[in-house]
Amino acid sequence: MPMEKDVLVRVPFARFRNETLVEFFNDELAVIKRLGAGAIGIKAVSDDLIVAAGDVVAVLDPLKGSFFTPDIVEQDLLRNGVVRTVSTKANSKLHDPAADKRLAARNVLLVLKNYGNIPRRTYDDGTAAIDDLLRELNKTEMLPNVTALKLADDIADLTAANTRFAELMQARYQEAGTRPLVPMKEARARAEELQYKLIKRVEAIVTLNGIDFSPELTSFVQEYNAIAKRYKNILASEKGRRKASTGGNANNDDETTPEDTPDAPDPDVDAPEETPETPPVAPTS
C-alpha cells in the first residue's frame, strides 16, 4: 500500500560543520553499503553522493590540519566581535533622546541587516560580506551616521581585522600547496543537493510502492531516520550550549547558510547570535 511523502526525517544539513557533515555521510553511506544501494533502489544517486562526499573530504583534509587554523579561528572571533560591537552601539542609540542619534542607529542597523548573520557565514563568504559592509559604511552619505554613533574607530578595527583574516586564509591555502580546485562551499552544495535528491528518490519509491517494497528499503528508512534524529539532537545540543553561553540569545533560525568551514562555521567555533532586526527607515538624505 503506497504511503505518504516525507517518510524520512528532515535534517538542516546547511547547519552542519564540515566535519559533522562528513560524519553524517559516513554513517549514512555505511548503511547503504550494507543494505545495497541497488536493493534500496537508489544506486545512481548513491554513487553520485559517494563522489560528492569524497570531494568534501578532499577539501577538508588539507585545511583542517593547517598550522594557521588556530590563528584563523582567533581572528574570526575578533572580527565577528567588532561586528557585534557596531551592532550593539547602534542598538543602544535606538531610543536616545537625540533624534539624530536615533536616526543614525536605524540607518546603521538597516545596513547591517542587509548582510544577515555575518558570524554564521562561511569563512570566505564572511570576508566578502564584511568587505561589502565596510564599503557601505564608508560611503559619504553614511558619514553622519558613523559620526553620530562614534563608529569610526570600530570601522577601522573591522577593516584591519578582516584584512588580517584574509591574509591568514591565503597563508593556509599556500601552506597546503595550492588552493583546492573545488572550494568547500561548492563541494558542500553539490553533496547537499545529492543528499536531498537521495531523500526524494527514497520517498518516491515509498509513495509508489509502500515502505514494505523490499526488506532493504524498510531497513533503510528505519536506520536513516535513527541517524537523522541523532544528528538533529547534536544540532539541538550545540544550539543549547550557544544559548547558555550567550545568556539565552542563541539564534532561533533553523535555516542558515552553510559554512564553508574551515573554508566555514568554518566553523571551528560556535556562531554568535544574529544582528537584531530593526524597523524600516528612510535612507539619510
Question: What's the number of domains the chain is made of?
Answer: 2
pLDDT for residue 257: 34
Please tell me the distance from the alpha carbon of residue 265 to that of residue 269, in angstroms, as a whole number.
6
Q: Which of 56-60, 226-230, 275-279 has the lowest mean pLDDT?
A: 275-279
Written as nine digits, the cell of 166 is: 584574509
Residue 272 within a domain:
no
Looking at this protein, which amino acid is placed at residue 34? R
| Whether residues 20 and 47 fall in one domain | yes
Contact 259, 119 (CB under 8 A): no
Of all residues in the chain, the percent with pLDDT exceeding 70 is: 76
Burial 32-62 (b: 16+ CB within 10 A, else e): beebebeebbbeebbebbbebbebbbebbeb
The three cell numbers of residue 100 are: 539624530
My answer on whether 73 and 123 are in the same domain is yes
Spatial contact of 164 and 76, defined as CB atoms under 8 Å apart: no
Tell me how crowded residue 23 is: count the other CB atoms within 10 A of its CB.
14
From 153, 175, 197, the end of a domain falls on 175
164 and 205 both lie in a single domain: no
Domain encompassing residue 97: 69-175
pLDDT at 48 over 60: yes
225 and 191, same structural domain?
A: yes
> Considering the domain boundaries, does residue 275 fall inside one?
no
What are the pLDDT digits (tens) for 169-187? 888 777 666 545 677 888 8
C-alpha distance from residue 216 to each of 50, 158, 168, 177 (Å): 19, 54, 48, 44
Interval 117-174: pLDDT, tens: 888 888 888 899 999 999 999 999 999 999 999 999 999 999 999 999 999 888 877 7
Together in a domain, 196 and 61: yes
Secondary structure letter of residue 273 according to DSSP: P
The Cβ of residue 22 has, within 10 Å, a number of other Cβ atoms equal to 19
Model confidence, pTM: 0.48
Between 33 and 178, where is the model more confident?
Answer: 33
Q: pLDDT above 90 covers what percent of the chain?
A: 51
Are 149 and 73 part of one and the same domain? Answer: yes
> Can you tell me whether residue 145 is helix, strand or coil?
helix
Is 61 in the same domain as 30? yes
Q: How confident is the model at residue 72 (pLDDT cuts 50, 70, 90)?
A: confident
pLDDT digits (tens, 9 = 90+) for 85-112: 999 999 999 999 999 999 999 999 999 9
Q: What is the pLDDT of residues 243-274, one digit of tens each?
A: 655 555 544 443 333 333 333 333 333 333 34
Q: What is the pLDDT of residue 278?
A: 41
Q: Is 229 part of any domain?
A: yes
Residue 4 falls within a domain, yes or no? no
Q: Are residues 170 and 193 in the same domain?
A: no
Choice among 17-26, 103-112, 211-220, 267-276 with the minimum mean pLDDT: 267-276
Stretch 3-12: mean pLDDT: 76
Question: Pick from 230, 245, 260: which residue ends a domain?
Answer: 245
Q: Is residue 277 part of a domain?
A: no
| Same domain as 230, residue 157 | no
